[in-house]
Amino acid sequence: MIELAGVDFAYAPGQRVLADVSLQIAQGEFVAIAGPNGGGKTTLLRLILGLERPSRGRALLFGQPATHVSNRTLIGYLAQRSRLGVQAPATVREVVTAGRAALRPFGRLRQADHAAVDEAIARVGLTELERRPLTLLSGGQQQRAFIAKALACGPELLVLDEPTTGVDVDAQEALAGLLDELHRQLGVTILYVSHEFGAVEHAVGRLLLVRERIVFDGSPTALPRLWHDPSHVHA
């Protein structure tokens, strides 16, 4: 599903962020991408999604150049909370319906679309709150609503960028449980990007630690306890 080969990236000459990154992520994997702030994990994500072009090397998504993927509805993307706009006076159902509407940009939603919205809301456990404005929900419930929005199109790739920012420990653990369940039930490929990965350590099958390069790629259980804080990782 995802392939990077010999990728370098710099925002400006002399400001290299990533160097010689190569990786493959197969369909159905649950992968955490972690690392210290400024280590390059968000840039790596942007390269994977085709939002940035490598300075050198190749980035493929669904077998196509990542910058030219034609069907973006295959990607469910949950942005960082700072960019979610949760002050908008929209209900859970309106938010999730907006996600499904991406499939019908020039037409009205059909019965199957409304059924898909119902299913997405139910999968995240918000059916009883679907008419509730997001502003009245907890941080963890807001995250669930936006995950449902991402699921409404039936994506093959679900991407979460710093999803636990601003939510308490209980909500983080609940989110990890939800993602584990979605992964097992739907078989969707999940990329979970964070400066730490403790909340999902038991659920992910693979961990990438990024500090300019990929300094660790493997099972979280293979990582010595000393290194579970990515700030300790040295290139």
Q: What is the pLDDT of residues 116-143, one digit of tens each?
A: 999 999 999 999 999 999 889 888 898 8
Q: What is the pTM of this model?
A: 0.87
Q: Which two tokens stand for residue 104?
A: 């019908």
Say yes or no to pLDDT of 162 above 90: no
- The whole-angstrom separation of Cα 192 and Cα 204 is 9
**Quick one: which H or E segment has residue 180?**
helix 169-186
Q: Are 230 and 224 in contact (CB under 8 A)?
A: no
pLDDT at 234: 42
How far is the CA of 10 from the CAs of 19, 45, 212, in angstroms? 9, 14, 10
- The whole-angstrom separation of Cα 79 and Cα 143 is 10
Determine the 3-state secondary structure of 46 from DSSP. Answer: helix
pLDDT at 233: 46
How many CB atoms are closer than 10 A to CB 166?
16
pLDDT at 226: 41
First to last CA, the chain: 27
pLDDT at 97: 93
pLDDT at 51: 93
Compute the mean pLDDT over every residue in the chain, rounded to the nearest whole number: 87
Candidate from 14-23, 115-124, 173-182, 224-233 with smallest mean pLDDT? 224-233
* Fold designation for 2-85+155-232: Rossmann fold (3.40.50)
In the beta sheet, which residues pair with residue 32? 192, 207
pLDDT at 83: 46
What is the per-residue pLDDT across 24-82, written as a single tens digit (0 to 9) for each?
A: 999 999 999 998 888 899 899 999 999 999 999 999 999 999 999 988 889 998 887 64
Task: For residue 2, name the pLDDT band (cuts at 50, 70, 90).
Answer: very high
Say yes or no to pLDDT of 204 above 70: yes
Report the pLDDT averaged over residues 160-189. 87
pLDDT at 225: 55
pLDDT at 139: 84
pLDDT at 175: 87
- The whole-angstrom separation of Cα 186 and Cα 21 is 29
Say yes or no to pLDDT of 206 above 60: yes
Say yes or no to pLDDT of 222 above 90: no
pLDDT at 87: 57
Q: Which two tokens stand for residue 205?
A: 């099958």
Report the pLDDT averaged over residues 219-224. 80
- Our separate counts of H helices and E strands in the chain read 5, 10
